[in-house]
Amino acid sequence: MKRIFLVILDGLGVGAMPDAAAFGDVGANTLRSVTSHPNAHISNLLRMGLGNIDGVDFLPREAAPTAAVGRLAELSPGKDTTVGHWEIAGVVSKYPLPTYQNGFPSQVIAQFSAVTGRKMLCNRPYSGTAVIADYGEEHMRTGDLIVYTSADSVFQIAAHEEVVPLEQLYEYCRIAREILVDEHGVGRVIARPFVGEPGAFTRTENRRDFSLLPPEKTILDILSAAGLDVITIGKVDDIFAGQGITKRVKSKSNREAMDKLNEQLQQDFGGLCFCNLVDFDMLYGHRRDVGGFARALSEFDAWIPTFIKNMRAQDILILTSDHGCDPAFPGNDHTREYAPLVVVGQSESPQNLGTRSTFADVAATIAEYFDLDFDTPGSSFLNSGL
């Protein structure tokens, strides 16, 4: 029974793309920043051939790699989670999703306030941890919602769990999602609950994303329509607004997601298991924690050999990313970078797959492996010997 495990190392870019200047990201390189830290121990990924990827001249090359490796360019005009995942799933966005570097228009805020019955605080780009430190006490005193954004196409609502219960916060996000359409159709509305007291607020693991529906059918739709399984782990379900997904497995951390991957590896299914490892981006990239990112990558490196050892004869493992999030680069947002591509399977020929023209090559490969027709700009790399 054929199975593909697609794992997104969220935010692990492997170097600035040629158009990085248009995004203010010249010189960004997440992998270089992370692997230069003493917390980085990635002997298994190096053995697989991570240092053989085009442009990765800061890591040792492997003479006899155990995986096929390459890098993926992003065709979509953006560097955010939504368009990155959509393109991995075969849909290249024609236009960038709207961003709000001066905050959301007054008419959007007024409409949201009128429907929710609450006033808004902040309404400008802000760090997620800093915004609760700066506005959390006022929020607790007034009940006003903290609304903020970033360089990405997001409308984020932060609220203390004792002031706004989780289900109520999620309902506010659904309301915002209905308002934010057409010209204001941001990629994601994100619930950002927190707890604690003034001076000691912390975000909880009860984040939830409310995404736009993909504008076209993705490989997830094609697989599920063909009667194959599409199992998601982590925030993938939210990113695709549940579309094309047959089974949703929740996880709130890299560790939990890796445990869930091990569980799915032991299950009998035919199709795709699509997992996002969110900690790289959420806990370390955005917070500019190079050491934490390096430690998390080392934990993944230590985990992966056993997973590969337990793969079945017709299993394929694809590792990639949805954008960069260089923790050593100025600012605290995503970076316009190539995504790594690492492919493992018992019948896979270890080789350099080069620089691919679009993230959608992943979807094209999945379609070919399951012998499905799918109209996508991507090109399959199955001719590598699978």
Please give, one letter per residue, the 3-state secondary structure of 191-204: EEEEECCCCCCEEC
Give the domain 106-208 fold: Alpha-Beta Plaits (3.30.70)
Cβ contact 173:206 at 8 Å: no
Question: Residue 386 — very low, low, confident or very high, per pLDDT cuts 50/70/90?
Answer: very low
236 phi and psi angles, rounded to 5 deg? -60, -40
pLDDT band per the 50, 70, 90 thresholds, residue 371: very high
The confidence score (pLDDT) of residue 54 equals 98
DSSP code, position 4? E
Model confidence at 383: pLDDT above 90 = no
With a cut of 70, say whether residue 154 has pLDDT above it: yes
What confidence tens digit (pLDDT) does each residue in 307-364 have? 999 999 999 999 999 999 999 999 888 999 999 999 999 867 899 999 999 999 999 9
Overall average pLDDT of the 121-148 stretch: 97
Q: Give residue limits of the domains in the chain.
A: 3-96+212-384, 106-208
pLDDT (tens digit, 9 = 90+) per residue, 254-286? 999 999 999 999 999 999 999 999 999 999 999
User: By mean pLDDT, which of 40-54, 223-237, 250-264, 343-357 is the weakest?
Assistant: 343-357
C-beta neighbour count of 215 within 10 angstroms: 12
Q: Tell me the three state secondary structure of residue 17.
A: coil
Which sign, positive or negative, has the C-alpha torsion 75, 337, 183, 169?
Answer: positive
| pLDDT tens-digit map of 5-27 | 999 999 999 999 999 999 999 99
Query: What is the per-residue pLDDT across 163-201, written as a single tens digit (0 to 9) for each?
Result: 999 999 999 999 999 999 999 999 999 999 999 999 999
Q: What is the pLDDT of residues 67-117, one digit of tens each?
A: 999 999 999 999 999 999 999 999 999 988 999 999 999 999 999 999 999
- Give me the DSSP letters along 292-313: HHHHHHHHHHHHHHHHHHT--T
One of 1.10.760.10, 3.90.800.10, 3.40.720.10, 2.40.50.140 is the CATH number of 3-96+212-384, namely 3.40.720.10
Buried b (16+ CB within 10 A) or exposed e, 98-109: bbbeebbeeebb
216 has pLDDT over 90: yes
pTM over 0.85: yes
Q: Are 342 and 67 in contact (CB under 8 A)?
A: yes
The Cα–Cα gap between 371 and 35 comes to: 38
What pLDDT does residue 283 have?
94
